[in-house]
Amino acid sequence: MLSPIQVLCSDITTLSLEPEPFASYTEADIISTVEFNHTGELLATGDKGGRVVIFQREPESKTEPFSQGEYNVYSTFQSHEPEFDYLKSLEIEEKINKIRWLPQQNAAHFLLSTNDKTIKLWKVSERDKRPEGYNLKDEEGRIKDISTVTSLQVPVLKPMDLMVEVSPRRVFANAHTYHVNSISVNSDYETYMSADDLRINLWHLDITDRSFNIVDIKPANMEDLTEVITAAEFHPHHCNLFVYSSSKGTLRLCDMRESALCDKHSKLFEEPEDPSARSFFSEIISSVSDVKFSHSGRYLLTRDYLTAKVWDLNMESKPLETYQVHDYLRSKLCSLYENDCIFDKFECAWNGSDSVIMTGAYNNFFRMFDRNTKRDVTLEASRESSKPRAVLKPRRVCAAGGKRRKDDISVDSLDFTKKILHTAWHPTENIIAIAATNNLYIFQDKLNSEMH
């Protein structure tokens, strides 16, 4: 996979949100989550303004039968609005924290979106016909005077321009005291879970007025609080298993068959700390910001501030593999703490065959690691380097005091305001989606596209 990667599509700025290149953007335009559906034909992004933009992959062109289809805007809708909790005098942001697609069962698509408090189930469907010839309504839908109806006709469906309709089907509210950080659809396709800082709830997709609390780590006295839940996910094949990560760097695998409240984990994955490497920042940088099961269900991928780790479900004592994402920042932790960057939450992703992992970094860089060859590459998602169909050049950061080669970037010149927090990988193909502030970049493996 770690061959040159070419730009498959431009970004949201030129597609929907900002028509002018380099146009200014507002806080509301910043992308906060990216997610492919189960086939990879649709790609959804959520932003801080509560909007969801869905992109659809265009079918292969008839004139170029082997060309890869590009992703274009399919639908845009407002998922969440800002709210105010009058009991607690707190504003509830409209920012979309997570989007999860449900597997497609019929012609319509369904997705879950959540802000800090409320989860919503949306139906996305197409309509290309409209009924005409009603007996009791005129063409504009007004009720006719019955006395004027002299004959009966059979209504017919007439073709019309394709229209994409998005409608809310369920609203799951009032179940979280703290901010929701994760949602995950179960492999039974009937239930899903939502996690906040201290609790995980299990929901049925058809029932909105109750959920079951399956994890509760809130201590009786909040002064005794030592860790919070940072992410949670269901196993891709076993509907009874799920994992959640904590701010202490631990992973807990739970089995819902053991008890209704999964406060006692089945397995605890924790790497022993090296006492000689301990510093003031150790606990902060060990906090797990994301956890993902591999497609096979055998491995876990986690991301903390400086590393990405692969864990084997059969080995709890230490990670199977550890990848340094930006170890050159170790000497910069003090300044990163002062500007709050040390608390940034980077996500991670597997490729379709679980052989390559991907995660973001600063300066609009993202990193890819090949688990088989142990090769890695740093690439940049930016307007300057990402002209359509252009091949991305690998980038290299030179650590402070290190020997600098041509085209190397000094660690002191990195822009920490440009960060790749959200990434997604197509479920079967080598196509990746990268969110960089208010821009969405879609890249494709060049070798793969040439073979097609």
d(CA 311, CA 233): 15
| Confidence tier at 61 by pLDDT (50, 70, 90) | low
| Confidence tier at 67 by pLDDT (50, 70, 90) | low
Question: What is the pLDDT, as a whole number, of residue 451?
Answer: 34
d(CA 186, CA 212): 14
Reported in sequence order, the residue ranges of 115-198 that DSSP labels E, i.e. its strands, are 119-132, 156-172, 182-185, 191-195
Write out pLDDT tens, residues 302-349: 999 999 999 999 999 999 999 999 999 999 999 999 999 999 999 999
d(CA 283, CA 375): 29
d(CA 381, CA 435): 9
Q: Is the pLDDT of residue 11 over 70?
A: no
Secondary structure (H, E, C), 190-218: CEEEEECCCEEEEEECCCCCCCEEEEECC
Total residue count of the chain as it appears in this document: 452
| Confidence tier at 12 by pLDDT (50, 70, 90) | very low
Question: What is the pLDDT, as a whole number, of residue 276?
Answer: 75
Contact (CB, 8 A) for 201 and 193: yes
Between 69 and 127, the higher pLDDT residue: 127
Q: Is the pLDDT of residue 89 over 90?
A: no
Q: What is the mean pLDDT of residues 359-386?
A: 91
- Would you say the pTM of this structure is higher than 0.95? no
Residue partners of 127: CB distance under 8 A and separation at least 6: 160, 162, 163, 165
Write out pLDDT tens, residues 114-165: 999 999 999 999 887 777 777 777 777 788 787 787 788 788 777 777 788 9
Contact (CB, 8 A) for 53 and 122: no
Q: Is the pLDDT of residue 18 over 50?
A: no
Residue with tokens 């209504």: 155
* All domains in the chain, ordered by first residue: 5-445 (2.130.10.10)
How far is CA 37 from each of CA 44, 94, 115, 228, 267, rounded to the nearest angstrom?
8, 23, 19, 29, 30
Question: What tokens does 179 get?
Answer: 């901010």
| Confidence tier at 449 by pLDDT (50, 70, 90) | very low
Q: What is the mean pLDDT of residues 422-449?
A: 87
- Give the mean pLDDT of the chain: 87
d(CA 154, CA 1): 58
